[in-house]
Amino acid sequence: MGLAPEQTVLIHSSMKSIGDVEGGADIVLDALQEYFAPGLLVFPTLTWDCVDAAHPVFSVNDTPGCVGILAELFRKRPGVKRSLSPTHSVAAYGKDAEVFVAGHERFDSPAHPDSPWGKLYHRNAVILFIGTGIACNTYLHGVEEWLPVPGMLTDQQEQLVIIDEKGKRIPCPMRRHVGAHSHWYSLMEQPFRDQGALRDGTLGDAHVHLVDARKAGDIVFELLKKHPLFFTEEFQKTAQKL
């Protein structure tokens, strides 16, 4: 797919889409870690579905993510570092993984520009969607935050708690994303492709979309400057009537 080992790569994945692999998910992870060891391999390990005001504790060691078996197995592997966000953590492996994940707990929003999600832009990362399509693009939540899009985040904070690797409890007031914006992210597939931010590949049986984080971010920035509510149901319903 033309990816260099030195690159920063974030992967959204469906193991099932890859097909039968001798050794299963662990063999896929072995191959990815071996290849990208000179660079940085990142998986989302999101917990927004199980950490909230009613269940406020996030344990970096123990709280499972909700984004598939590859990400869940990856975060448990030796040498992998997980960021301290109670709802939108990432796990990273590579030469500067610890630096990449550091400081996520300092922000009261899931994808602050100085969080790992913002670092993807500054590192010219590539985002791989292995058998998932591009709608599950958490990075675009970040782009919406950075602009910022009106109403993207709650005004009120939830009083959440992080338990770090050593068992220390860290208070982390957190605002949440509002609305099902990702439902409309697939609309960007053709614009990304037309403007050179998306290309295609395969991994086993899976179709892979390769998205250039910086190019995609710039395209969405420009779009949202003109239409801040583009990724909302209200805007799309109006657009369809025009």
Q: Is residue 181 part of a domain?
A: yes
Enter the pTM of the model.
Answer: 0.96
pLDDT at residue 179, rounded to an integer: 83
pLDDT at residue 146, rounded to an integer: 95
pLDDT at residue 240, rounded to an integer: 76
In the chain, which residues have pLDDT < 50? none
Q: Which residues contact 161 (CB under 8 A, 6 or more apart)?
A: 56, 57, 58, 86, 169, 170, 171, 172
Distance CA 155, CA 42 (A): 30
Q: Is residue 43 part of a domain?
A: yes
Q: Is residue 51 part of a domain?
A: yes
Instruction: Name residue 162's beta-bridge partners.
Output: 58, 170
pLDDT at residue 101, rounded to an integer: 98
pLDDT at residue 242, rounded to an integer: 57
Which of 132, 87, 240 shows the shortest CA–CA distance to 232?
240
**Domain coverage including residue 101:** 8-241
Q: Is residue 3 part of a domain?
A: no
Query: Tokens representing 67?
Result: 């984004």
Q: How many domains does the chain have?
A: 1
CA-atom Rg of the chain in angstroms: 17
**3-class SS of residue 129:** strand
Distance CA 135, CA 53 (A): 27
